[in-house]
Amino acid sequence: MSKSPNRKQFAWAVLLLGAISFILYTVSTITRVEPAWKFIIVGDSRGGDNGVNTAVLKEIAAEIVLQEAEFVLFPGDLVNGSGNQAVLQSQLTTWRDTMQPVYDAGIGVYPIRGNHDAGNLAAWRTVFSGEYALPTNGPSGEMGLTYSVSHKNVFVLALDQYISRHRVNQPWVDAQLAANTNPHIFAFGHEPAFKLAHADCLDDYPAERDAFWESLKNVGCRVYACGHDHFFDHAVVDDGDGNPDNDIHQYVVGTAGAPLYGFSPPYNGNNTRYTVEQLEHAKQYGYLLVEVSGSVVTRTWFEKETQTGTYIPKPCAGTSTQADSKKKDGTKMDYPKVTLSNGQVEADVFLPDAGKGYYRKCRFDWSGMSDQVRWNGHNFLCSSAVTGDMDFRACGTAEELCMGIFNSPGPLGYAEAPVGGGFIKPGVGILKKHSDEDYSFEKVYEIIEPIKWNIQSGDNWVEFSQRLADYNGWGYCYTKRITLSDDAPEILITRTLENLGSKKIEATHYCHNYLLFDEDAVGPNYEIKLTFAPEIFSDELNGHVKLNGHTIGFHREIHAGDYAFGSFDGFDAESNYSIVVENSKTKTAVEIQGDRPFERFHLYCQQKMICPEPFVKLTVEPGEKTEWETKYIFHEIAGN
């Protein structure tokens, strides 16, 4: 007979199991990244098919299902409407039937009334009852009309504005906001808070509107969505306190089928102390996609392309929010970073961190992202405050491997991975393949496992290394070292990619180079000088850019909400590249030198970013490695 363990042995076993459990829990906590999820906002679908534009609404319903949204917010004017119960009930039933694929997919559908839906309350309550019933947590007399929704880490206020016309039930709003514990807050109603084309809106009662707006601002809500006007319009509402981080964005998304019309600023309603600035506008059908990944939220406008009928994503300007950007005491959150200095140049470099790093998304390399470089009293990079929404929260020296555009290689193992399986984005980790569609850098992919970084640093250097031993035959060691030269205003970025797997690695690498000189808006003050005469390969330059020999210039300033993008040929495919960006106002320049030829050259610009993008080609056989580097040289230019 075997001996039973004595008490001392049993105690040691319990302690050992506890230690192992703690270690496993700690590791899982450190590496866990909350899966991204999505919802959609779109409204105003009235039309000629029993009060509904069923053709467009069917397309929108199909998009909602295709996007795998978890719910949809519909801010009113579902139908043309009627005061007759039977007529309105029939129209609303047509709307509901058209949206049936969304219901069948298990996606939450949350409409509120618009002015065209408010003709008969009994019709609304009849159609939205039973399995189609809406939440009944609203104030007395508004059950199923005004309500709130809590879903994962998001809290939504759905606000009827026709029990008390052009107003919300503020006591109920205050109580709901006080009880909420979710970090991300959204509000939607039918009418804009700040007037566009329709005269009737919440500014009919400006004092009540302002109280409502302040209640949202004070709890961190940054989005109010509505319809009423039949177009897409995105505006930021500046409250005048000097802090743009707490300004609320107004989205008009009356784009589900109602007759379209246009609008141009000014926003000439009763704006009281607020200033309303248009960021984007489109006279076209489409929808707003909201993506939530842990503490970060991004918004993308999907616009119907007239010729093909497809819905094209267009990231919205200035709209990303990060719920943990402030501590409980209201002070700004500090993301892990190092500040490098050589006595001439200073560079702030964010450190990759799956739990609290500045960048934790699926597109860009997590390492070496700098949002500030200072030399001789000047700043040269586009700060994180400007690009907080762009390309999933990228900034400054954001780099990307395996972008997968224009027939260039995509992420490792994507083509061979089954739906639901994993593929590899070097610099990020193992991502989940969501469908059989081609990889798209514009989509959000769930990060199954972020790959660990090893980080070392000194006064004027920092080095990042990421290692994946083997994943379905793919493996690599990727190292990036950023060094400030000892005796010159220069920054050198050196990278090494070693193939540890059994499959050949073919990839492209580029730096987005979010540049901005002393916050000077992009326009005629800037010139880009190249070693070749650029030829336009493809473009959406929108009349902003001019070519003159080896120089790219600008006809005029790029305004908020506008952009310019171009892909250029004409470079020598055998010579190492050089790009010089000059600013005549600051009388400074940065030269970007690479030790490889261009594979591609792109230019992307908005009002507050000028981005020359050099692409290089990488091929690494199993057991081999490749190195490439980029040097940034800062200097003054002659001028009056």
CATH code of 257's domain: 3.60.21.10
Is 510 among the domain residues? no
- Provide the pLDDT for residue 332: 44
Distances in whole angstroms, Cα of residue 499 to Cα of each of 192, 469, 558, 611, 617: 55, 9, 43, 30, 15
Q: Which of 494, 528, 559 is the last residue of a domain?
A: 494
Q: How far apart are CA 546 and CA 566, in angstroms?
A: 11
Q: Which of 494, 524, 557 is the last residue of a domain?
A: 494
Task: Inform me whether the pLDDT recorded for 416 exceeds 80.
Answer: yes
Q: How far apart are CA 254 and CA 65, in angstroms?
A: 19
Q: Are residues 342 and 201 in the same domain?
A: no
Is 535 among the domain residues? no
- Provide the pLDDT for residue 639: 67
Q: What is the pTM of this model?
A: 0.55
Cis peptide before 266 (omega within 30 of 0): yes
Q: Are residues 363 and 314 in the same domain?
A: no
Contact 504, 565 (CB under 8 A): no
* Bridge partners of residue 39, in order along the sequence: 290
346 sits in which H/E element: strand 345-350
Return the percentage of the chain with pLDDT > 70, whole number. 90
The CB density around residue 230, as the number of other CB atoms within 10 Å, is: 24
Q: How far apart are CA 78 and CA 252, in angstroms?
A: 15
pLDDT, tens digit, 9 for 90 and up, residues 237-269: 999 888 888 899 999 999 999 999 989 999 999
Place of tokens 């119907």: 304
Distances in whole angstroms, Cα of residue 251 to Cα of each of 40, 216, 227, 348, 404: 12, 15, 8, 34, 31
Identify the CA nearest to 184 among candidates 153, 207, 209. 153
Question: What range defines the domain where residue 360 resides?
Answer: 337-376+395-494
Q: How far apart are CA 474 and CA 424, in angstroms?
A: 8
pLDDT grade for 306, boundaries at 50, 70 and 90:
confident
The token pair at 213 is 């707006």
Q: Which of 494, 515, 548 is the last residue of a domain?
A: 494
Q: For helices 170-179 and 206-218, what crossing angle results, to 10°?
A: 0
- Provide the pLDDT for residue 562: 85
Q: Are residues 279 and 357 in the same domain?
A: no
Is 356 among the domain residues? yes
Max mean pLDDT range (18-32, 288-302, 388-402): 288-302
Question: How many domains is the chain partitioned into structurally?
Answer: 2
Is 199 among the domain residues? yes
Contact 227, 252 (CB under 8 A): yes
For strand 232-238 and strand 46-49, is the pairing parallel, antiparallel, or unpaired?
unpaired
Phi and psi at 141, nearest 5°, equal 85, -10
pLDDT, tens digit, 9 for 90 and up, residues 190-249: 999 999 999 999 999 999 999 999 999 999 999 999 999 999 999 999 998 888 888 999
Q: Are residues 350 and 467 in the same domain?
A: yes
Place of tokens 């049936």: 100
Burial group, residue 329, by CB count within 10 angstroms (0-12, 13-18, 19+): exposed
Return the percentage of the chain with pLDDT > 90, whole number. 76
